[in-house]
Amino acid sequence: MKQSATLAAQLADAARIVARVAAGKSLSEEIGRVSEMDSRSALIDLTHGTLRRYGRVQSIVERLSRRARPDAPVEALLWCALYALASARHAEHTVVDEAVKACGLIERWPAKGYVNALLRAFLRQRSTLEAQLAVEPRAAHQHPDWWIELVRAAYPSAWQEVLAAGNTHPPMALRVNQRRVAVDAYAARLALQGIAVRRVGAEGLLVERPLPIERLPGFAAGEVSVQDAGAQRAAHCLDLHAGQRVLDACAAPGGKSGHLLELADVALTALEIDASRAARIAPNLQRLGLSAEIKVADASRPGDWWDGRPFDRILADVPCSASGIARRHPDVKWLRRAADVPAFAERQRAILAGLWRVLAPGGKLLYATCSVFPQENDAVIEAFIAAEPAALRLPAADGAPPQWLPDDEHDGFYYALIAKRA
């Protein structure tokens, strides 16, 4: 009985959050308001699982509903209940009954009959619906139609794999702070605690089964950070040397800044336009026993923040569509529109132009995105190289291609290294 009551409350809470996300709110911010860890864990499963099934749950409700469009909280409740049915963590009749009870918890008592009827219709017609959804792109690939077309055009031989990866649970990778502990030694400590990992990259460990950071030995002491293996590639691409002046533009929350400082004794400036996000950089660096000069300003307007001394290395981790990390932030598929991609590209060009002014002759700039859309990646870089005589594109130090697509080891990232001719 207690479990049933808990499921109804979880469905109601998840529906409220999903409805707000569908209206334009950030999923991470909404989840961040939940303080109890038990409730937080259940909500993450229900909300993220529902939103990863972006097109599927919508299509099911649209096909079965006799209403033009249900009330937003009721619609979100149905989406969450459909995910709960697909997860098979509860008996089907339990999910239906608890979804009906959840109507009262979200103060939509008249919708009880409608919710009950639609969910039971889904269970009766499941086989027929599955066949119909299989040929509907939005439902089959669980992404917006415009997103599907961009990926299909960019990766004609791998587009289905890229989309499928965006619907999976993301891998959990650790970055060992080798200033404090060796990678193999830390892996051995994890093994003693029954935490299975394998090496990935120079400082990385891929966790077999994701776990809360509280279970990571030495986390509070700065011995390890959680950072995707694809994101860990950035610091190694910059060819760092002790004593260099280094700029991490668009630096919050400071993950890549920390990695740069772990690798070399450089003078780092961390730049971030958003003051609230910039406030997270210092605590993250302090945990690692590191520090940087932190500035709150627009990277595209160096006149507002630059002291006139050029930087030897610049990491331009520019804002983007986040299409390469959609599985970590499934609300991205709700919030993005096709028009956002060219808008991001325009902003990226402005940041690149601004940062180029503060790069020293002979210096190197690494352009980075967590996008798989070429319009934000190769298109931006190729146009910049063509227009800037002093720009020389270099191969990555690891010999890997600029674009990494999401897979079972890492998310989707793009890196382009550019040297400024002396």
Question: Which pLDDT score, from 0 to 100, does residue 66 have?
Answer: 78
**Residue numbers annotated as active site:** 370
Distance, in Å, from the CA atom of 185 to the CA atom of 175, rounded to the nearest integer, reads 13
CATH C-level class of 172-226: alpha beta
Question: Which pLDDT score, from 0 to 100, does residue 36 have?
Answer: 61
Distance, in Å, from the CA atom of 59 to the CA atom of 220, rounded to the nearest integer, reads 44
Continuous segment of H or E residues that includes residue 81? helix 72-87
Distance, in Å, from the CA atom of 16 to the CA atom of 350, rounded to the nearest integer, reads 38
Taking the domains of the chain in order of start, what are their residue ranges?
2-142, 172-226, 234-420
Give the list of residues 6+ apart from residue 14 with CB closer than 8 angstroms, or none: 43, 46, 47, 50, 76, 80
Question: pLDDT for 26-59, tens place per residue?
Answer: 998 888 887 665 567 888 999 999 999 989 999 9
- Rounded to 10 deg, the angle between the 2-22 and 72-87 helix axes is 130
| β-pair partners for 420 | 391
Please, are residues 375 and 343 in contact by the beta-carbon 8 Å criterion? no
Question: Which pLDDT score, from 0 to 100, does residue 35 have?
Answer: 61
Give the list of residues 6+ apart from residue 136 with CB closer than 8 angstroms, or none: 55, 59
pTM confidence score = 0.93
Question: pLDDT for 60-118, tens place per residue?
Answer: 999 999 777 789 999 999 999 999 999 999 999 999 999 999 999 999 999 999 999 99
Run means of pLDDT, 10 residues per run, the chain, 422 residues: 68 96 91 70 91 94 85 96 95 97 96 97 96 95 97 98 96 97 97 97 96 95 98 96 97 97 98 97 97 98 97 98 96 95 98 98 98 98 97 93 97 98 93
Question: Which pLDDT score, from 0 to 100, does residue 67 have?
Answer: 73
Question: Which pLDDT score, from 0 to 100, does residue 3 have?
Answer: 45
Question: Which pLDDT score, from 0 to 100, does residue 42 have?
Answer: 84
Question: Which pLDDT score, from 0 to 100, does residue 4 have?
Answer: 44
Q: Does domain 234-420 have CATH number 1.10.238.10?
A: no
Return the DSSP state at 111: G
Distance, in Å, from the CA atom of 403 to the CA atom of 66, rounded to the nearest integer, reads 45
Q: In this structure, what are the phi and psi dihedrals at residue 246, rounded to the nearest 5 degrees?
A: -125, 140
Q: Does domain 2-142 have CATH number 1.10.940.10?
A: yes
